[in-house]
């Protein structure tokens, strides 16, 4: 029975709850998502992981914060349902773009587990850039007890491939593929806020949320070796209206790597403090801090 309840819960949060409102005009759809996000059992694993946030940031209303967490995950899943029904060049009226990608040449788009990231891929495509997304491996065996979650993840990666026009580059072992893509003018999209547990190589110390933490240097090393700039980018949500903003910061050199990592950490710090419910990796945070103090972090 517990297995059946788990599968029904996954069906609700990965298909039904995010899916059916996505057919409505956006203001009505967003109102539905905000109402559904009152359900405390929705995305319970992410909500319980985010429950530590008040230990690190001043959050006045914990219930409202967790509702925002559930809203963010609803939108992230709903974006996939909506995107799959549209052409790769489609762009909705409720998503704005602030800033611009470099006009020519490849670059490394450095983003975070923050906000609804599928719009980064669409923004790149919408501006006429080819892209290649870097991802950790997504093994079926790890989701044996949650087959719907594996199916959702596989569908999301397939949609990224459809939008960018390039196959996913899976780490570890993706460096040669990524360098070849950059040499051919294909920009790389990668997430840099990855803890040592998931990316043990190349972690360097940074300060994040007032604590000694770490970020991996792989994306910056890649850009430096390819002779291309990095472009920090992220997606913000206006919780009141449901509008999103794809923010594209100015391109900059990847080196010196320690200084660039510090600047990226400062950007991530600012974003999390501004909208803590938008950060998807709270569940990793306590282990991240513990691992960042380990000897394998470069000092």
pLDDT score recorded for residue 283: 95
Domain-located, residue 51: no
Whether 135 is covered by a domain: the verdict is: yes
Residue 44 lies inside a defined structural domain of this protein:
no
- Domain range for 188 is 90-292
What was the pLDDT predicted at 237? 98
pLDDT value of position 8: 87
Q: Does residue 36 fall inside a structural domain?
A: no
Domain-located, residue 150: yes
pLDDT averaged per 10 residues in sequence order, the chain, 299 residues: 76 94 96 97 94 96 97 97 96 97 96 97 97 86 78 95 97 93 98 94 95 97 98 98 97 98 98 98 96 66
Q: What is the reported pLDDT for 1?
A: 47
Whether 228 is covered by a domain: the verdict is yes
SS3 assignment for the chain? CHHHHHHHHHHHHHHHHHHHHHHCCHHHHHHHHHHHCCCCCCCHHHHHHHCCHHHCCCCCCHHHHHHHHHHHHHHHHHHHHHHHCCCCCCCCCCEEEECCCCCCCCCEEEECCECCCHHHHHHHHHCCCCEEEEEECCCHHHHCCCHHHHHHHHHHHHHHHHHHCCCCEEECCCHHHHHHHHHCCCEEEEECCCCCCCCCCCEEEEEECCEEEEEECHHHHHHHHHCCCEEEEEEEECCCCCCEEEEECCCECCCCHHHHHHHHHHHHHHHHHHCHHHECCHHHHHHHHHHHCCCCCCC
Q: Is residue 57 part of a domain?
A: no
User: Within a domain: residue 97?
Assistant: yes
Per the structure, how many domains does the chain have? 1
């Amino acid at each position: 029975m517990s297995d059946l309840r788990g599968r029904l819960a996954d069906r609700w949060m990965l298909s039904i709850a995010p899916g059916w409102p996505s057919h409505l005009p956006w203001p009505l759809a967003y109102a539905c998502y905000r109402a559904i996000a009152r359900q405390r059992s929705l995305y319970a694993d992410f909500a319980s992981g985010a429950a530590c946030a008040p230990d690190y940031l001043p959050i006045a209303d914990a219930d409202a914060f967790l509702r925002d967490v559930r809203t963010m995950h609803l939108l992230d899943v709903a974006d996939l349902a909506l995107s799959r029904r549209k052409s790769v060049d489609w762009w909705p009226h409720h998503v704005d773009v602030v800033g611009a990608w470099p006009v020519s040449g490849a670059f490394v788009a450095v983003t975070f587990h923050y906000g609804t990231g599928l719009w980064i891929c669409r923004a790149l495509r919408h501006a006429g850039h080819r892209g290649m997304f870097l991802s950790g491996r997504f093994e079926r065996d790890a989701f044996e007890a949650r087959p719907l979650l594996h199916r959702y993840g596989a569908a999301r990666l397939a949609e990224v491939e459809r939008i960018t026009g390039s196959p996913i580059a899976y780490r570890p072992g993706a460096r040669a593929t990524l360098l070849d893509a950059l040499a051919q003018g294909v920009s790389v999209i990668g997430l840099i806020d990855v803890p040592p547990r998931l990316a043990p190589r190349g972690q360097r110390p940074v300060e994040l949320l007032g604590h000694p933490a770490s970020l991996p240097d792989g994306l910056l090393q890649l850009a430096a070796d390819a002779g291309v700039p990095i472009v920090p980018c992220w997606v913000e949500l206006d919780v009141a209206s449901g509008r999103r903003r794809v923010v594209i910061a100015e391109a900059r050199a990847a080196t010196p790597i320690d200084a660039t990592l510090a600047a990226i950490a400062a950007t991530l710090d600012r974003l999390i403090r501004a909208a803590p419910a938008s950060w998807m990796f709270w569940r990793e945070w306590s282990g991240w801090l513990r691992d960042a103090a380990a000897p394998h972090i470069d000092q």
